[in-house]
Chains A and B, each alone.
Chain A
Amino acid sequence: MSTELTGQQSLPLAKAINAGLRQAMLDDEKVLLLGEDIGPLGGVFRVTEGLHAEFGGNRVLDTPLAESGIIGSAIGLAMRGYRPVCEIQFDGFIYPGFDQITSQLAKLTNRHQGSQAFPVVIRVPYGGHIGAVEHHQESPEAYFAHTAGLRVLSPSTPHDGYWMIQEAIRSNDPVMFFEPKSRYWPKGVVDFDANRTPTHASRVVRTGTDVTVVGHGAMVSVLLQAAEIAEQEGTSIEVVDLRSLSPVDYAPLVASVSKTGRLVVAQEAPQHVSLGSEIAATIAERCYYSLEAPVLRVSGFDTPFPPAKVESIYLPDADRVLEAVDRALAY
């Protein structure tokens, strides 16, 4: 395998992140990976496949099932010059490590008043659509977006996966990196020659004039699908991909809503005190004189993640998004 990837290639997200991790490890020998079953097995979702063989056991470390231990060790490594990237096997497994993230990692930059960097990346495959029920399909992003000191990112495409993981590793701040696991397999074009994009930049991924819809991760493909259907019905939808969930880059969203006058926020997470609620409140404040309708939210329900058989009811789909779009247009 050549060391440098060039040109364009059609890859699934899992392979694109794998390529990004590999590139980061080639660029900086202080980058190392820690996690459960990430070594010879390559991780449950095979995102680290081949990296143990290429970089060895001192760069790709298999750990016991000890999320608090993994993240705590990563903090100690970061304090001594490493750039550890932790893999948390499933979204629901992040909670045993919650204390080390929120009580320690998030607060340490401030504690050290900038004299010490904490470049820890925590990769979390998250979200639904794979029929794996609670503890394995959750959307816990808001807990971390609520915590000052953490950056929270979520790529929606293979191209972003490749570039954003490298930017996350390069950051001197702790980064929670939420990978939409249902998007691990569909392919998309990755441009290996592209200019680096700042991670703190939300992006208009489809232009439109009537209603703005915003989301992140797997929700972006649902929003694009909804926009396709709406177009056939004569409604023009603009789709914004948040990419950075904390801090949020509001400028493109504000510009979009100032143009369309309507906003629907979509997310897999339960609605109460969610990221979508925060965005709705902020846009209501910033775009008050442009809004033609209240900002509407489409979310998972305020329940634990449901059994596989009914997850399609729980997870917002194009129909639920379009129903909200229709309500927004009816004002």
Chain B
Amino acid sequence: MTTPIVQDRDRARESLRTMWRIRRFEEAVEDLYGRGLMHGTMHLSIGQEAVPTAACQALNRDDYITSTHRGHGHCIAKGADLERMMAELLAKETGYCRGRGGSMHIADTETGNLGANGIVAGGVPIAAGAALSAKLRGTGQVALAFHGDGAMGEGAWHEGVVLAAMWQLPVVFLCENNLYGMSMSSERAFNLPQLSDRAKGYGIPGVTVDGNDLQAVYDVTAEAVERARNGGGPTFIEAKTYRWRGHSKSDKNLYRTREEIDEWRLKDPIVRFELETVEAGTLSEADLEAVRDEVRTELRGAVQRANAAPDARPDDLLASVYAEVGA
């Protein structure tokens, strides 16, 4: 049994650093939108930071993930560069997709991030395909498909899981159940006590876990990744968590109560983990402050440099529609 993260000084610091990077990145994004400096739309995962942070710790750098419209946390946890991400959201030439993708479409194949997606289950069969490639090549790599509860109503989710189960692919389907698909509560949408009950119907293991408990998410993901790497096939994980902000910019939160949101804010996964590390005597208050300061400085620099980068140019908008010229 490996040492719990909360007792491991380096990993505890790293976990907190990742969660703070996600939180501060998204707060900065929210601020930039609010001030009219960023355009389009965006989906924030504030309150859900423990899930990608823990899940990506269970993956190697060359393992794959597919991400979602609410994907900043996945990118950051898999190792993306904050400045290039911020530049992407600000539609700058220095962004991951030269400013053409924006918030919902960041891809960073160098860190194994095969891409975020505006279609909620869109990445699920793509992850199955990446896992199939790993199996055919015999590389031992694993693919992890992040998706939300809403994705589990879409056909692509079903088809991706069917293929993965049939071929026993090295893939983990990780559902971040934040309790709402926009305004539709997952309780109402799915006639199941827990979403992991569905796994049985596909002939794969399924587990539900407290998504705000970093260690618990890590444990179930590590077990699933291990099984996948050893030829044991796919696993479905439901991590129950909560998004503090609305679905997107336009959300007026008419489908849930202020009390419910406040109740979940008390379950803040970052505060919870900070307390756990202090109680365990692993990190001091000064250590925690140092992590926060470090992230604040890093992010300020990322925003400044991204802002100063050249804007995405419209003159070659047609240049990358096809890989090959000759049309």
Instruction: Point out residues on A near B: beta carbons under 8 Å.
Output: 32, 58, 63-64, 66-82, 84, 96, 99-100, 103-104, 108-118, 148-149, 151, 171-173, 198, 200, 247
Contact = CB atoms under 8 A, between A and B. Distances in A.
10 contacts: A72-B129, A73-B163, A76-B125, A79-B129, A100-B125, A109-B321, A111-B115, A112-B107, A118-B323, A247-B327
Given A72-B126, A76-B127, A99-B156, A66 B326 contact: no
Interface band, chain B: 35 or more
A280 B189 CA distance: 48
B290 interface: no
A110 B321 contact: yes
B119 A72 contact: no
B100 interface: yes
Q: Which of A58, A66, A149 has the largest count of B CB atoms less than 10 A from its CB?
A: A66
A118 B323 CA distance: 8
Contacts of B129: 72-80, 84
A82 B163 CA distance: 18
Interface string B296-327: 00000000000000000000000111111011
A32 B158 CA distance: 23
A73 B155 contact: no
Q: Which 3 A-B pairs have the closest CB atoms?
A: A76-B129, A72-B125, A69-B159
B323 A68 contact: no
Contacts of A148: 321
Interface of B: 97-98, 100-101, 105, 107, 109, 114-115, 117-119, 122, 124-134, 136-137, 143, 155-156, 158-160, 162-163, 166, 319-324, 326-327
Given A71-B125, A73-B129, A79-B114, A109 B163 contact: no
A100 B101 CA distance: 17
A248 B321 CA distance: 16
Contacts of A104: 117, 119, 122, 126
Contacts of A109: 320-323
Contacts of B117: 104
B84 to A, nearest CB: 12
Contacts of B124: 72
A76 B122 contact: no
Given A69-B128, A73-B128, A172 B119 contact: no
Contacts of B327: 200, 247
B98 A68 contact: no
B23 to A, nearest CB: 26
A77 B128 CA distance: 9
> Which of B100, B124, B323 has the largest number of chain A CB atoms within 10 A?
B323
